[in-house]
Amino acid sequence: MTRIHNLNGSRALSGLVGQVRAAGLNSPMNNSGIGEGGIEVYEQGTINVSDGNLIVNGTATIDGVLNADGTVTLSGTITISGPLTISGDTDITGDLDVDGPMTTTGTLSVEGVTTLKNDLDVTTGGKIKVGSSMTLTPSTDGGAATFSNGAKLSSTTGAIQMAGTGGTSTVTAAATSAGVTSGSSTLVVFNDGTWKLGTTTANIESFAAGVVDVTGTFKAGPQVYLLSLPTTTQPANLYIDPTTGQLKRSTAA
């Protein structure tokens, strides 16, 4: 004869029902742990942290794209071994140490004090502008400082030269001489004590022996003194024109 069990009174079934009910009401992912096997999200699945924190005490490895639309706060050491592209504004309030080469193709604006402990090389036609009145140009002459009014200080052929606006008046200092030029007039002083003053029509030049050579018309006055002249027994042969003051050699007996 067949025995029929009353399932309603079974303790095992009653316990199983209680377990199912508890599993349905519980939140099994709260305070859960994932062991060595890990967890995998695939087929465009998403892990959404809507109102909480994501804390990584170990290592977070990202092989794809990391998109951050909000605020990103990094307080520890950050190491970037690959390229870094920043397309927006960047504010750095602490120290920035760059150990390798740095290339800036845009405009670099420095509002604070800048200290250079090494060389500053300006190449390929670059210039250094000091305010709105002076420009340092390495490619002009042997290097030049040009002012907004047209004046210029430059190095040319082994000498330093200052030129006024228009370039018609200059002061030049070379290795063995210094000169002043204005238009067609020139005064040059040499390091051996001699000098030369000249124009397009006249020239005065001194020599080391104390001789002064005058080319062109020489005028002196109102008083001219000739001291310690040598004497001679020859007849006088100099004549001074009383009107023009010109000194002439007389051929009269």
- Regarding beta strands 169-173 and 195-198, do their DSSP bridges make them parallel or antiparallel, or are they unpaired? unpaired
Determine contact, residues 251/238, Cβ cutoff 8 Å: no
The rounded percent of the chain whose pLDDT value lies above 70 is 91
pLDDT band at 187, cuts 50/70/90? very high
What mean pLDDT, rounded, does the chain reach? 83
Instruction: Say if CB 246 and CB 238 are below 8 A apart.
Output: no
11 DSSP 8-state letter: H
pLDDT-based confidence at 74, cuts 50/70/90? confident
SS3 state at 8: helix
Exposure b/e, 119-128, CB count within 10 A at least 16 = b: eeeeeeeeee
172 sits in which H/E element: strand 169-173
Q: Tens digit of pLDDT for each residue in 14-70?
A: 677 777 777 776 776 677 778 888 888 889 888 888 888 888 888 888 888 888 888
In Å, the largest CA–CA distance within the chain is: 187
Per the model's pLDDT, the better-predicted residue between 110 and 217 turns out to be 110
Count helices and strands (H / E) in the chain. Answer: 1, 13
User: Averaged over 202-207, what is the pLDDT?
Assistant: 81
| CA-based nearest residue to 112, from 133, 136, 93 | 93
Q: Which amino acid is at 38?
A: G
3-state class (DSSP) for residue 178: strand
pLDDT at 121: 87
* pLDDT recorded at residue 1: 56
How far is the CA of 91 from the CAs of 71, 77, 79, 154, 181, in angstroms?
13, 17, 18, 40, 54
Query: Within 13 Å of residue 181, how many CA atoms lie on the same side as its CB?
Result: 14
List CB contacts of 200: < 8 A, sequence separation 6 or more: 184
- In the three-class reduction of DSSP (H, G, I as helix; E, B as strand; rest coil), residue 105 is classed as coil
**Displacement of CA 177 from its chain's centroid (Å):** 34
Cβ-count burial 199-209 (b if 16+ within 10 Å, e if not) = eeeeebebeee
What pLDDT, on a 0 to 100 scale, did the predictor assign at position 151? 93
Phi/psi at 95 (5° precision)? -75, 145
Q: Give the pLDDT of residue 8.
A: 59
Query: How much is the pLDDT for 152?
Result: 92
pLDDT at 4: 60
Instruction: Give residues with Cβ within 8 angstroms of 206, minimum separation 6.
Output: 194, 195, 196, 212, 213
- For residue range 132-183, what is the model confidence (pLDDT) as tens digits? 899 998 888 888 999 999 999 999 888 999 999 988 899 999 999 999 999 9
Q: Tell me how far the alpha carbon of residue 178 is from its chain's centroid.
A: 33
